[in-house]
Amino acid sequence: MDTRVKPAYDIHLKLDCTWLRSHEKREVGHAAMEELRDIRSKPATAATHCSAVPWRDLRDWLTLVDNAGRLLRIKRPVDPDQELAAITFMATRRENAPALLFETLGSDRFGARVLANMLGSSKERYALAVGLDPDLSTAEMITATRNMISRRIAPVHVRAAAAPVNEIILRESEIDLTAFPAPKFWPGDGGRYIGTGDITLTSHPDTGRINVGVYRQMLHGPRRIGLYCSPGKHGLIDREAWWARGEPCEVVAAYGIDPVLFMLGAQAFGTNESELYVAGGIMGRPVELTHSEYVRLPIPANAELVIEGVLHPGDLEPEGPLGEFTGYYGRERSPQPVIEVKALHARRSPILTAALMAKYPSCEIGAYYAIMRSARILDDLERIGVCGVVGAYAHPAAASGWGIVVVAMRQQYAGHAAQVLALTAQCPAAAYYTKWIIAVDEDIDPTDFNEVMWALSTRCHPAEDIDLLRNTWSTGLDPSQCIPGQRPYGSKALINACKPHRHIRQFPPPTLLRRDLYERVVARWAELGFAEPPPKLTVFHPD
């Protein structure tokens, strides 16, 4: 099935990896050239993997969202100090709320706008971002995502003069970031956050690999921004490597960014892998970068607002806390590195992307994250080689997809469900945080909470079917693990909600429709007066 919508334009980009260090230019540049040739040599609609997304930047994508009726422009003045977050939270207490473009913001002196709930709980906006049919089911989007996330396309370089982000360039003392409507979200937040729906680029001094990470950034002053990277994050590894050499760590941060770079910046890949290549693979076209002025990193050519800066060893200021994706405040205020801003690039009336962290469905880490995490869990299980896994879903309502994973399987032998549960619980994509791993049979759609509740209530015998793993990988952001001064050792419940394998032959048959009757009713559905389409049933009474 070609699930991609057709690209709206052709790609004609000049390839020039001049930001790369000379020793890797040849290799990476050559690979990129090969991949571009590959893209161009095939007709755009020939196969799913070579069509590009039908947008070029955040503004283009917002037009698609607007045309789909999923963008609300708020023209009335709104205070970025907590009021913007309050409106966003209240507007998103139901699933599939529209994206919110705040066009008039108190305290704004730059003519900036703020986009909130960019993706949130909307799998349709995820589909519009990655070029899928928005009507696909969640399970179909997970399958398509597995395909896309495995591709790599090298970024390309566009001339600085042609880069939209260079409409306005300010240097050193010309810069005053307090002119931007950086939101304060929750009453207990430690300050205004210019960066939440952001991306931060750093490089590793040994390899030159450019990392893209979403790390929060608190505004300290006109040219000073706090950068919080938690332990193990690649931005922190890069920073420590530069500082170990006695050199400052250069960074580029974008505060208004397209949805694919935002989504990829929040996914963990290998330490030596650049998210820029994965983003290209997902978009079916290269990420466009351009030259910076001060640092040796590239800047995203189509971003809305970008800063170049440096982190100096020992330059720390108190940072945080911030209301988190768990629905609680995160870590205590602590000294964190500060970016000294050297240059600013912006489009006119830039759109800052702000990510509200809150409990579902108000959290920016919602549908997209659940789909991507599920895709990567299924990739891991396939790589391990366990048979019979037919689906998985990391439900977004479970703390943005971190808390619960449901895995659907075809039971093939005694002990099979226990094996799938244990492997799912500890596979790299699912091991962090996840507390509840639930195995269901293949007739249960793991993305449908009602089906999962049914399986738990009718096929699971708690005294027999629950095992615990102790001292597992977790995070202090889990409020049940936040004892100050202690490392976060988590635990996991493995819940077998499959039909008991021992008694599978005696297990009562479920009440199912006969297929011929289902099809007859589907044919009569409209005639019977139903306006909505009939439900898609896939499991029927055996003939």
Ligand X SMILES: Cc1cc2nc3c(=O)[nH]c(=O)nc-3n(C[C@H](O)[C@H](O)[C@H](O)COP(=O)(O)O)c2cc1C
Positions in the binding site for ligand X (CB under 6 A): 196-197, 211, 213-216, 228-230, 233-235, 265-268, 355, 364-365
Interacting partner of 257 out of Mn ion, ligand X, none (Cβ under 5 to 8 A depending on kind)? none
State the binding partner of 216 from ligand X, Mn ion, none, CB within 5 to 8 A by kind: ligand X
Nearer Cβ to Mn ion, position 234 or 499? 234
378 binds, among Mn ion, ligand X, none (CB under 5 to 8 A by kind): none
Which CB atom, from 355 or from 498, has the smaller least distance to ligand X? 355
Q: 172 — alpha (psi -120 to 50), left (phi > 0) or beta?
A: left
CB-nearer residue toward ligand X: 215 or 393: 215
DSSP structural state of residue 359: S
Helix (H, G, I), strand (E, B) or coil at 138: helix
Cβ-based nearer residue to ligand X, 105 or 229: 229
Looking at residue 481, its amino acid is: Q
Please state the φ and ψ torsions of residue 235, each to the nearest 5 degrees: -60, -35
Of 6, 13, 58, the C-alpha closest to 35 is 13
Which residues are within 8 A (CB) of 178 and not within 5 positions of it... i.e. 6 or more apart? Answer: 219, 221, 222
The interface partner of residue 202, options being Mn ion, ligand X, none and the CB cut-off 5 to 8 Å by kind, is: none
State the nearest-atom distance from the C-beta of 322 to ligand X, in Å: 7
Of 198 and 308, which CB lies nearer to ligand X in the complex structure? 198
Largest Cα–Cα distance in the chain? Answer: 78
**Residue 230 binds which entry of ligand X, Mn ion, none, CB below 5-8 Å type-dependent:** ligand X
Q: What is the C-alpha to C-alpha distance for residues 151 and 29, in angstroms, rounded to an integer?
A: 17
From the list Mn ion, ligand X, none, partner contacted by residue 425 (C-beta under 5 to 8 A by kind): none
Report what 226 binds from Mn ion, ligand X, none; CB cut-off 5-8 Å by kind: none
Which CB, 310 or 355, lies closer to ligand X? 355
Least Cβ distance, residue 330 to ligand X (angstroms): 8
Nearest to 389 by CA among 498, 464, 462, 500: 498
Residue 336 or residue 496: which is nearer to ligand X going by CB? Answer: 336
The distance of closest approach from Cβ of residue 197 to ligand X in the complex, given in angstroms and rounded to an integer, is 6
Cα angle for residues 136, 137, 139 (degrees, 5° grid): 120
- In the complex, the smallest distance separating the C-beta of residue 275 from Mn ion, rounded to whole angstroms, is 6
Nearest approach, Cβ of 261 to ligand X (angstroms)?
A: 12
Question: Token match 């037919």: residue?
Answer: 390
Q: How far is the CB of 275 from ligand X (least distance, A)?
A: 6
Q: Cβ-closest residue to Mn ion?
A: 234
What tokens does 429 get? Answer: 């994509």
By C-beta, is 113 or 233 nearer to Mn ion?
233
CB of 314 to Mn ion, least distance (A): 25
Query: CB-based contacts of 28: which residues, under 8 Å, 6+ apart?
Result: 17, 20, 154
Name which of 243 and 269 has its Cβ closer to Mn ion. 269
Do 268 and 231 meet the contact criterion of CB atoms below 8 Å apart? no
Name the site residues for Mn ion (rule: CB under 5 A): 211, 234
Q: How far is the CB of 228 from ligand X (least distance, A)?
A: 4
Minimum Å distance from CB 536 to ligand X?
31
∠196-17-279 over CA atoms, to 5°?
Answer: 40
Other beta carbons within 10 Å of 18: 11
Q: Which is nearer to ligand X, 64 or 266 (CB)?
A: 266
State in angstroms the smallest separation of the CB of 296 from ligand X. 19
Rounded to the nearest whole angstrom, what is the least distance from the CB of residue 198 to ligand X in the complex? 8
The pair phi, psi for residue 406, each rounded to 5°, is -105, 130
Least separation in angstroms between residue 240's CB and ligand X is 12
Residue closer to Mn ion (CB basis): 87 or 278: 278
CA distance 361 to 401: 11
**Residues forming a β-bridge with 218:** 193, 226
The residue (of 178 and 230) whose beta carbon lies closer to Mn ion is 230
Please give the Cα distance from 218 to 201 (Å, whole number). Answer: 17
Phi and psi, residue 190, nearest 5°: -75, -5
Report whether 330 contacts 364 (CB < 8 A).
no
Do strands 404-409 and 436-441 pair parallel, antiparallel, or not at all (unpaired)? parallel
CA dist 306 and 516 (Å) reads 59
By a kind-dependent CB cut-off of 5 to 8 A, residue 267 interacts, out of ligand X, Mn ion, none, with: ligand X
Token pair listed for 524: 């009569």
Residue 15: which of ligand X, Mn ion, none does it interact with, CB under 5 to 8 A by kind?
Answer: none
CB 280 within 8 Å of CB 287: yes
Tokens for 543, please give them. Answer: 């003939």
DSSP string, 397-451: TTTTTTSEEEEEE---STTHHHHHHHHHHHSHHHHSS--EEEEEETTS-TT-HHH
